[in-house]
Amino acid sequence: MSQLEIHQIPVLSDNYVYLARDTATGACAVVDPAVADPVLEEAARLGWRITHILNTHHHGDHVGGNRAIQAATGCTIVGPKADRARIPGIEVEVDDGDRYALGEAVAEVFFVPGHTRGHIAYWFPDSHALFCGDTLFALGCGRLFEGTPGQMWHSLSKLRALPEDTRVYCAHEYTQANARFALSVDPDNAALRERAKDIDLARARGEPTVPSTLGLERRTNPFLRADDPGLAAAVALSGAAPEQVFAEVRHRKDVF
Ligand code: ZN
Ligand code: FE
């Protein structure tokens, strides 16, 4: 059992890149490097030697730094098997149910299509850490660029089943805008109203709202609550299947 030390690097307008270092061996992964230079500089400042890149999906703001970081460090690039043709420099392909060892810290891989057709997430159970890219956001979920609402609901349901204390390391700071939308579909949720206030205060202080925890997401994120009768009623779909409620909530967010 080995713990990860995790360092968060804000880049571009609202992306988060993570450095995750196995304390037992010093193996260090960059999760979804949107860019290279700020990541290399931050690793140097911390004295961490980058040995791996873990990609969740092929979008440019998640793989843009792959080649330059690989050239600078000789690191191994790990990514989704279903998307091997779209991940620059991929060397290790992983798929649903695989385990991948970063030193002595072991990740379990989930296939979570919806945002893209090849999207995966990495869960490090001993570190209570989930790297979920653009599938699950704090109070939101990724847009359905390549998948159906049914697929995304199934993907989110897998992540929702992880332990309450799992920290959700998502790839964007979208939380404040997500909160405004969440309140529009779930206005009577006291936990959500409380959280929205905390988010406003954190952002006013210039602090990140990520990572969140899965327990908090379960109670407040409308995209994890499509099987809640109250939410179904709020979008005029009482008695409908969760996939349908999810599709309606996602549609409303797309046009919000
Ligand atoms: Zn994306
Ligand atoms: Fe993204």
In tens, the pLDDT along 71-112 reads 999 999 999 999 999 999 999 999 999 999 999 999 999 999
* Dihedral class, residue 104 (left if φ above 0, else alpha if ψ from -120 to 50, else beta): alpha
How far apart are the CA of 22 and the centre of ligand 2, in A? 25
Q: How far apart are CA 32 and CA 151, in angstroms?
A: 22
Q: How far apart are CA 30 and CA 37, in angstroms?
A: 12
pLDDT at residue 93 in the model: 98
Q: Which ligand is in closest contact with the Cα of 119?
A: 1
Q: Is the Cβ–Cβ distance between 94 and 81 less than 8 Å? A: yes
pLDDT at residue 205 in the model: 98
- To the query of whether residue 62 is one of the catalytic residues in this protein, the response is yes
pLDDT at residue 253 in the model: 98
Q: How far apart are CA 232 and CA 239, in angstroms?
A: 7
Catalytic residue among 52, 57, 119, 154: 57
Structure tokens at 75: 């690191």
- To the query of whether residue 251 is one of the catalytic residues in this protein, the response is no
pLDDT at residue 2 in the model: 82
Q: Is the Cβ–Cβ distance between 93 and 85 less than 8 Å? A: no
- Mean pLDDT for each consecutive 10-residue tract of the chain (256 residues)? 93 98 98 98 98 98 98 98 98 98 98 98 98 98 98 98 98 98 97 98 98 98 97 97 98 97
Residue type, 43: A
- To the query of whether residue 115 is one of the catalytic residues in this protein, the response is yes
- To the query of whether residue 14 is one of the catalytic residues in this protein, the response is no
Q: Is the Cβ–Cβ distance between 151 and 119 less than 8 Å? A: no
How far apart are the CA of 224 and the centre of ligand 2, in A? 19
Q: Which ligand is in closest contact with the Cα of 116?
A: 1
- To the query of whether residue 128 is one of the catalytic residues in this protein, the response is no
Catalytic residue among 22, 32, 52, 61: 61
Catalytic residue among 58, 62, 119, 128: 62
- To the query of whether residue 172 is one of the catalytic residues in this protein, the response is yes
In tens, the pLDDT along 8-27 reads 999 999 999 999 999 999 99
How far apart are the CA of 57 and the centre of ligand 1, in A? 7
Indicate the length of the chain as a whole number. 256
Structure tokens at 124: 């490090």
